[in-house]
């Protein structure tokens, strides 16, 4: 009986040692840097009024320069009152957008437009607007934040 007890105790100690060797730990540091941001004034990105053919398909329009919209779609007719966003900056900056895409919606409408903002120059924002097929003719709005990092 004593022989079996010693054999069992030895087996348990061996198994426990094997499991203990597979455990590990680490101590990590946590770092944070706080910086203050000053609020600046920017105008709005305005795709204006976009004229499309009736029963149009999905299409994309690009605000490539202030007052200029372009589209490869034959469903795009023309546009009026377009404008890039301009921000009051004194230094060269890199822009960080709060979202890669911005949803534009209209009250009571299920379909939405999608805007992808892009830094056009040191202080201006343009971008690409995706319009789904069969969207209702009305005004669509959305918003986003931009952070400017001085270079």
Report pLDDT digits (tens) over 65-92: 766 788 989 999 999 999 999 988 767 7
Residue whose token pair is 């979202």: 99
Bridge partners, 65 (sequence order): 68
Whether 13 is in a domain gets the answer no
Indicate whether 57 pLDDT > 90. Answer: yes
Whether 117 is in a domain gets the answer yes
Whether 127 is in a domain gets the answer yes
3-state secondary structure of 126: strand
Token pair, residue 97, equals 């957008």
Indicate whether 151 pLDDT > 80. Answer: no
pLDDT band with cut points at 50, 70 and 90 for residue 43: very high
Whether 141 is in a domain gets the answer yes
Summarize pLDDT for 99-149 with one digit per residue, the tens.
899 999 999 999 999 999 998 888 889 999 999 999 999 999 999 999 888
pLDDT on residue 126: 93
Token pair, residue 81, equals 């009152």
pTM for the structure as a whole: 0.73
Bridge partners, 42 (sequence order): 87
Chain mean position to CA 90 = 26
Give the number of domains in the chain: 1
Indicate whether 12 pLDDT > 60. Answer: no
Whether 20 is in a domain gets the answer no
pLDDT on residue 75: 94
Whether 6 is in a domain gets the answer no
Sequential DSSP letters for 41-89: -BPPPB--EEEE-TT---EEEEEEETTEEE-S-TTEEEEES-B-EEB--
Whether 55 is in a domain gets the answer yes
Range with the lowest mean pLDDT among 5-19, 46-60, 101-115? 5-19
Instruction: Tell me the mean pLDDT in the region 47-60.
Output: 94
Q: Which domain holds residue 104?
A: 49-150
- Whole-angstrom distance, CA of residue 104 vs CA of residue 48: 13
């Amino acid at each position: 009986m004593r022989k079996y007890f010693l054999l069992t105790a030895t087996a348990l100690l061996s198994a426990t040692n094997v499991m203990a060797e597979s455990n590990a730990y680490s101590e990590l540091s946590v770092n944070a840097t706080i910086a203050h941001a000053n609020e600046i004034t920017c105008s709005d990105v305005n795709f204006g009024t976009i004229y499309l053919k009736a029963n149009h398909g999905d299409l994309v329009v690009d605000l490539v320069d202030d007052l200029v919209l372009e589209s490869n779609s034959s469903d795009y007719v023309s546009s009026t009152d377009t404008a890039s966003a301009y921000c009051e900056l004194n230094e060269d900056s890199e822009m960080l957008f709060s979202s890669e895409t911005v949803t534009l919606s209209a009250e009571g409408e299920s379909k939405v437009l999608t805007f992808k903002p892009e830094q056009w120059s040191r202080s201006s924002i343009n971008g690409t607007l995706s319009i789904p097929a069969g969207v209702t003719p009305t005004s669509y709005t959305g918003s986003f934040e931009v952070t400017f990092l001085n270079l």
